[in-house]
């Protein structure tokens, strides 16, 4: 079934004080969608919200709501179609909660008229929805931050609009309110089929709950689509300039973004440029390669990994960090083909790293590959955190080969952090 | 209780007080006229009621005193008070600032300079019974308002901060010009000072007939924008999101309030504190909803100025005190008392 477009923006340009804030935006939003707009400060998110809600005018291009250009809609009619939920602020005067919420009915009450039955009904519904009925008679100024925000949401709901624009309504509140309000917005979207367009500071909040994500950068749409297609390590780096992991939440199956923290992240750009010429292959298994891959890829090295079994933590890490890898079926011994592919990676690498992998007969061939690497003249670094005797489940076969590799000139380090020094030399 | 019934109840109570005040104030004065006689005389002016009142027993001189001297002054003071309080509510609402008074944007300084020029340099070009001073004061007030408004208009939008600042700056300059004139015309100084301090001494039915319809019309038209004013107190942007044509409403309200204040100032001089304090007092009683606050403040403003003016003309009888002095001396302590008693924020 084709969805009906509720908001359509074409060739939208907007300048403020002679500097262009929005550049040629064009997009469609379908009725009933839940859309998030993400972007750094100054990307033009709020400007876009202000234009759609007719707070700002004097734009070039076309903004249509429900098929009508908003230039032709009155302020009142626009407010009947689009309600904005901003962060709460304090009004100049000490109104009661119900007086505040009734202000949402302004577009429906004529200048010479008074509130009608339907206005009281709408306010009542909005209060029930936001659980503000219990303090309807109290002064707004005496409420807590979370309660005030509920009143502002109720005010917007009283507008009975088709579209709800969320202008960072929760980013100044505690996590419990962020969850509470997000659930409210989701329920409004699902049960009352309100179209919701939100600006959120929290990327994960946006990804988890939106059908589509719009990434804005410097007043331009960088991408717009399903979270899976839009959110990636590269796109976040491009928009926000931050290093993140993008993974899948095992519980919800949705993407999640988690920032990379570390003392070396800051101001290390020049080193990263040099590092990208060095290819490093890491032997995986049982999650032993993950910290190595993480460290090396954050430093900018070109990393590969193998052979690892599907369902291994190292596979998740490699996927998350977009590192090429060689896999084998879950819980199966390494096949001839996989070993060949692994050797291909090793041959094209400058350095091979062997972290503290446990060896059994199934993955013994990985150790054979390392021995091959030494013979090929590759630099081999062994991270020997745990005695090989305790990691050898082959009855001594692995331990013997391990010793032979060290004898052949592999570098032995005691911890993951020491490998950087050896890579730079 | 809906806003409408609440408003009507307050208005009824205030009108009742106003009526009693009119009778009481009409009986006070240098000539001793009893409350009973005053009531009878006032009653005889009301069509329908006059058939039942026998005026033959009453002193005809008292009838003249009340009808030609006291009543015009009473009604003029009521309308000036109403105008000042209405303008006060609008300015405080627009500026979301408790210190906003009808004079914030320079209406008073402009009117004072206009009146001074009228008193000193021009005489006798009255129009339709309006004196030169009044005409010049009105012109001064409106020109100043226009200037301040033009300065504060940036790309079609009015900046409230610029409006307040340019109002203060221009007021200071105009006042200096007024003082400059006063120094060189010491013979007119007392006249000018008396005008500046505010007085209703020269009240007449002529003046009332000119002021009353103007003020009434402006006050009533402005009354239809009170819901907008409520919402504008949430901030211009939020008001626009809720469907208020913020810039248009602000412009209309500014022009209306400035005209109302200018009309009042030009007939009465600068009467302070009525426009500032009355809305505050009423806000404590009826709450912040402008739809209730505005009409009640208007009536209360009339009551306050009527009482003050009656004191002004009777306290040191037969000498008159400028009513502006009374409103400040009584109004300010009362306001401070309310501030301390309410303990919480008034605004």
Report CA-CA distances (Å) from A191 to A32, A195, B85.
Answer: 10, 11, 49
Q: What is the percentage of chain B residues whose pLDDT exceeds 70?
A: 93
> Which residue in chain B has the smallest CA separation from A46?
B237
- Residue A414 DSSP class: S
- Residue B51 DSSP class: G
Nearest to B141 by CA among B176, B101, B107: B107
What count of CB pairs under 8 Å joins A to B? 81
**DSSP-assigned states of every residue in A137-161:** TSBGGGS-HHHHHHHHHHHHHTT--
Q: Strands A195-199 and A325-328, how do they pair?
A: unpaired
- Tokens representing B347 are 């605004």
* Stretch A144-164: mean pLDDT: 93
User: Between chains, do A107 and B238 touch, taking CB under 8 Å as contact?
Assistant: no
Chain B residues close to A87, C-beta within 8 Å: none
Rg (C-alpha) for chain A, rounded Å, is 29
pLDDT per residue over B90-105, tens digit each?
A: 998 888 777 777 777 8
What's the start-to-end Cα distance of chain A, in Å? 62
User: Between chains, do A89 and B235 touch, taking CB under 8 Å as contact?
Assistant: yes
User: Between chains, do A92 and B225 touch, taking CB under 8 Å as contact?
Assistant: no
| Mean pLDDT (chain A, rounded) | 88
The confidence score (pLDDT) of residue A253 equals 78
Q: Between these two residues, B50 and A158, which has the higher pLDDT value?
A: A158
**A10 three-state secondary structure:** strand
pTM reported for the whole predicted model: 0.79
B261 near B103, Cβ under 8 Å?
yes
The DSSP H or E segment spanning A166 is strand A163-167
B242 near B231, Cβ under 8 Å?
yes
Q: How far is B163 from chain A (nearest CA, A)?
A: 18
The confidence score (pLDDT) of residue A273 equals 63
How many other C-beta atoms lie within 10 A of the C-beta of residue A422?
Answer: 14
pLDDT per residue over A174-208, tens digit each?
A: 888 888 899 999 999 999 889 999 998 888 888 88
A225 near A213, Cβ under 8 Å?
yes
Is the model's pLDDT at A1 over the cut of 50?
Answer: no
User: Between chains, do B227 and A109 touch, taking CB under 8 Å as contact?
Assistant: yes
The confidence score (pLDDT) of residue A210 equals 92
The confidence score (pLDDT) of residue A108 equals 94
Q: Which residue has the tokens 């659930």?
A: A183
The confidence score (pLDDT) of residue B11 equals 92
Q: Between these two residues, B66 and B19, which has the higher pLDDT value?
A: B19
Q: How far is B97 from chain A (nearest CA, A)?
A: 8
pLDDT per residue over B323-340, tens digit each?
A: 888 888 887 887 777 677
The DSSP H or E segment spanning A35 is strand A34-38
User: Between chains, do B243 and A80 touch, taking CB under 8 Å as contact?
Assistant: yes
For A202-269, the three-class secondary structure string (H helix, E strand, C coil) is CHHHHHHHCCEEEEEECCEEEEEECHHHHCCHHHHHHHHCCCEEEEECCCCCCEEEEECCCCCCCCCH
- Residue A392 DSSP class: B
Distance from C-alpha of A401 to C-alpha of A396, rounded to nearest angstrom: 9
User: Between chains, do A114 and B3 touch, taking CB under 8 Å as contact?
Assistant: yes
pLDDT per residue over B128-182, tens digit each?
A: 556 778 888 888 988 998 888 888 887 667 777 788 888 889 999 999 998 898 8
* Stretch B248-269: mean pLDDT: 88
pLDDT per residue over A32-83, tens digit each?
A: 999 999 998 888 899 999 999 999 888 999 999 988 999 999 999 999 999 9
Chain B residues close to A104, C-beta within 8 Å: 242
Chain B residues close to A112, C-beta within 8 Å: 224
A394 near A365, Cβ under 8 Å?
no
Cβ within 8 Å of residue A329, ≥6 positions away: A309, A310
Distance from C-alpha of A241 to C-alpha of B83, rounded to nearest angstrom: 59
Chain A residues close to B347, C-beta within 8 Å: 92-94
E-strand spans in B29-170? 153-154, 157-158
Chain B residues close to A96, C-beta within 8 Å: 287
**DSSP-assigned states of every residue in A290-306:** HHHHHHHHHTT-EEEEE
Is the model's pLDDT at A265 over the cut of 80?
Answer: no
pLDDT per residue over B268-309, tens digit each?
A: 888 878 888 899 889 888 888 999 999 999 999 999 999 999
Distance from C-alpha of B61 to C-alpha of A104, rounded to nearest angstrom: 60
The confidence score (pLDDT) of residue B239 equals 92
> Which residue in chain B has the smallest CA separation from A75?
B243
Residues β-bridged to residue B259:
none
Is the model's pLDDT at A263 over the cut of 70?
Answer: no
User: Between chains, do A106 and B244 touch, taking CB under 8 Å as contact?
Assistant: yes
Distance from C-alpha of A141 to C-alpha of A368, rounded to nearest angstrom: 73
**DSSP-assigned states of every residue in B28-44:** -SSS---HHHHHHHHHH
* Stretch A414-419: mean pLDDT: 86
Q: How far is B104 from chain A (nearest CA, A)?
A: 18
The confidence score (pLDDT) of residue B347 equals 45
Confidence of residue A127 (pLDDT cuts 50, 70, 90): very high
Is the model's pLDDT at B184 over the cut of 60?
Answer: yes
The confidence score (pLDDT) of residue B124 equals 59
ipTM at complex level: 0.82
**Burial readout A99-112 (b: 16 or more C-beta within 10 A, e: otherwise):** bbbbbbbbbbbeee
What's the start-to-end Cα distance of chain B, in Å? 24
Q: Of A18-22, A74-78, A236-240, B38-42, where does mean pLDDT reach its minimum?
A: B38-42
Q: Between these two residues, A321 and A239, which has the higher pLDDT value?
A: A239
Cβ within 8 Å of residue A363, ≥6 positions away: A285, A307, A333, A334, A357
The confidence score (pLDDT) of residue A266 equals 53
């Amino acid at each position: 079934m084709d969805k009906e477009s509720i908001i359509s923006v074409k060739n939208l340009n907007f300048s403020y004080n002679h500097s262009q804030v929005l550049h040629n935006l064009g997009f469609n939003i379908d009725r009933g969608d839940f859309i998030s707009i993400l972007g750094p400060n100054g990307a033009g998110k709020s400007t876009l919200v202000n234009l759609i809600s007719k707070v700002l005018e004097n734009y070039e291009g076309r903004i249509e709501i429900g098929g009508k250009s908003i230039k032709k809609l009155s302020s009142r009619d626009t407010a009947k179609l689009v309600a904005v939920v901003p962060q709460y602020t304090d009004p100049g005067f000490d109104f009661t909660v119900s007086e505040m919420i009734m202000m949402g009915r302004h577009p429906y009450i004529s200048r010479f008229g008074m509130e009608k039955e339907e206005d009281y009904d709408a306010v009542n519904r909005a209060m029930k929805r936001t659980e503000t009925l219990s303090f309807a008679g109290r002064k707004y100024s005496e409420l807590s931050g979370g309660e005030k925000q509920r009143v502002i949401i109720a005010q917007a709901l009283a507008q009975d609009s088709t579209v709800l624009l969320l202008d960072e309504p929760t980013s100044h509140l505690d996590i419990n309110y962020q969850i509470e309000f997000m659930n409210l917005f989701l329920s409004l979207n699902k049960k009352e089929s309100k179209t919701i367009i939100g600006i959120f500071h929290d990327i994960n909040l946006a990804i988890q709950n939106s059908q589509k994500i719009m990434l804005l950068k410097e007043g331009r749409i960088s991408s717009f689509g399903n979270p899976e297609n839009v959110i990636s390590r590269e796109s976040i780096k491009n928009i926000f300039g931050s290093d993140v992991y993008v993974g899948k939440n095992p519980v919800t199956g949705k993407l999640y973004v988690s920032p990379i923290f570390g003392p070396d992240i800051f101001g290390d750009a020049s080193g990263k440029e040099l590092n990208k010429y060095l290819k490093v292959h890491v032997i995986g298994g049982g999650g032993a390669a993950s910290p190595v891959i993480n460290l090396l890829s954050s430093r900018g090295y070109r990393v590969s990994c193998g052979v690892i079994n599907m369902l291994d933590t190292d596979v998740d890490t490699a996927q998350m960090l977009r590192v090429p890898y060689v896999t084998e079926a879950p819980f199966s011994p390494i096949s001839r083909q996989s070993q060949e592919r692994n050797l291909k990676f090793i041959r094209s690498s400058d350095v091979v790293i062997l972290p503290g992998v446990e060896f059994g007969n199934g993955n013994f061939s990985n150790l054979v590959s390392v021995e091959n690497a030494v013979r090929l003249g590759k630099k081999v670094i062994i991270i020997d955190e745990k005695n090989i005797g305790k990691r050898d489940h082959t009855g001594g076969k692995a331990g013997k080969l391990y010793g032979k590799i060290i004898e052949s000139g592999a570098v032995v380090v005691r911890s993951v952090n020491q490998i950087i020094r050896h890579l730079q030399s | 209780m809906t806003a409408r019934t609440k408003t009507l109840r307050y208005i009824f109570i205030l009108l009742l007080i106003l009526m009693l005040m009119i009778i009481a104030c009409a009986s006070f004065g240098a000539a001793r006229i009893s409350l009973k006689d005053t009531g009878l005389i006032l009653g005889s002016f009301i069509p329908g009621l006059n058939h039942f009142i026998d005026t033959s027993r009453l002193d005809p001189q008292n009838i003249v005193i009340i009808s030609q001297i006291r009543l015009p002054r009473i009604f003029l003071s009521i309308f000036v008070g109403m105008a000042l309080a209405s303008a006060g509510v609008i300015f405080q609402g627009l500026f979301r600032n408790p210190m906003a008074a009808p004079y914030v944007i320079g209406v008073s300084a402009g009117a004072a300079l206009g009146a001074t020029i009228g008193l000193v340099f021009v005489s006798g070009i009255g129009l339709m019974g309006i004196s030169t001073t009044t005409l010049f004061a009105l012109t001064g007030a409106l020109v100043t308002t226009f200037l301040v408004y033009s300065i504060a208009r940036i790309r079609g939008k009015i900046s409230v901060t610029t409006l307040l600042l340019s109002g203060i700056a221009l007021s200071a300059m105009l006042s200096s010009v007024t003082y400059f004139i006063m120094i060189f015309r010491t013979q007119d100084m007392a006249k000018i000072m008396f005008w500046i301090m505010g007085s209703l001494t020269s009240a007449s039915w002529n003046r009332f007939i000119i002021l009353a319809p103007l003020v009434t019309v402006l006050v009533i038209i402005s009354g239809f924008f009170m819901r907008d004013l409520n919402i504008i107190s949430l901030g211009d942007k939020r008001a626009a999101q809720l469907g208020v044509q913020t810039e248009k409403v602000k412009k209309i309200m500014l022009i209306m309030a400035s005209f109302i204040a200018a009309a009042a100032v030009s007939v009465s001089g600068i009467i302070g504190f009525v426009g500032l304090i009355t809305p505050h007092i009423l806000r404590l009683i009826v709450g912040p909803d402008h739809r209730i606050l505005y009409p009640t403040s208007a009536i209360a403003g009339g009551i306050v100025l009527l009482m003050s003016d009656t004191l002004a003309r009777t306290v040191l009888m037969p000498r008159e005190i400028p009513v502006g002095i009374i409103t400040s001396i009584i109004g300010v302590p009362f306001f401070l008392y309310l501030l301390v008693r309410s303990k919480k924020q008034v605004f």
